């Protein structure tokens, strides 16, 4: 009897390993595919959404824009065509959450340096103060790489409309003084169709980790 088991031990081990591989493959095949939601204004807190969009439930996309970056170049949707990108709102003289957000955005930049499908876009909420020269100075201080990350300024009304009506990212309409926009700490993940696929706390390292994982899920969806 012992000779029998000894003789077929190798085949038993191989059969066991093969069985484990088959079970693993079946398990993975039965798992639901990981996907990200497509955010609509009706899915977001109303304080972050323009009142005209509170009940919009489909077809929401980021509107076209024309802004100026840290190098004085005109930046439009064309520069982000067929790209995934992460957007936020900040101002260079912000002493509170912006330095943390910028540091975390720089971390994302380092993670996507060799990824031609992903870019970054930061909008100044104080465009009257954040001139091209001021943005360039800030970009140099924070390690911004021009080919990956645009810091943009421009028409205040356009930026505020983008924030409220496109990115769903600020708490006021911003029609008062130079510091009237109450911007959030949100980073917004935008897909190649200009749709919002995620919101993340830009001051929270755990949220940044989640953003990077979601970015991989989104990228994978374009391969299938």
Dig out the tokens for 109 from the structure. 């930049």
Give the Cα separation of 115 and 148 in Å (integer): 9
3-state class (DSSP) for residue 39: coil
Known binding positions: 94, 98, 183
Dig out the tokens for 35 from the structure. 């996907």
Answer for the pair 124, 151: CB distance below 8 angstroms, yes or no.
Answer: yes
Give the Cα separation of 196 and 62 in Å (integer): 8
Known binding positions for Cu cation: 94, 98, 183
3-state class (DSSP) for residue 172: coil
Answer for the pair 217, 34: CB distance below 8 angstroms, yes or no.
Answer: yes
Q: Are strands 74-76 and 84-90 parallel, antiparallel or unpaired?
A: unpaired
């Amino acid at each position: 009897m012992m000779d029998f088991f000894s003789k077929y031990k190798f085949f038993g081990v191989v059969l066991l390993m093969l069985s484990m591989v088959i079970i693993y493959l079946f398990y993975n095949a039965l798992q639901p595919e990981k996907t990200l939601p497509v955010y609509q204004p009706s899915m977001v807190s109303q304080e972050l959404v323009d009142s005209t969009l509170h009940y919009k439930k489909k077809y929401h996309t980021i509107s076209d824009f024309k802004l100026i970056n840290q190098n004085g170049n005109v930046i439009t949707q064309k520069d982000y065509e067929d790209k995934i990108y992460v957007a936020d709102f900040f101002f260079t003289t912000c002493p509170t959450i912006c330095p943390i957000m910028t540091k975390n955005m720089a971390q994302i930049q380092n993670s996507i340096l060799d990824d031609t499908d992903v870019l970054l876009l930061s909008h100044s909420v104080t465009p009257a103060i954040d001139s091209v020269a001021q943005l360039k100075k800030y970009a140099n201080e924070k390690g911004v790489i021009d080919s990956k990350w645009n810091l943009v300024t421009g028409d205040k009304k356009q930026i505020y409309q983008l924030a409220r009506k496109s990115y769903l990212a600020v708490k006021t309409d911003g029609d008062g003084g130079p510091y009237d926009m109450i911007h959030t700490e949100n980073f917004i993940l935008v897909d190649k169709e200009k749709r919002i696929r995620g919101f993340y706390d830009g001051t929270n390292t755990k949220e940044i980790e989640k953003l990077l994982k979601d970015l991989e899920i989104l990228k994978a969806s374009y391969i299938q």
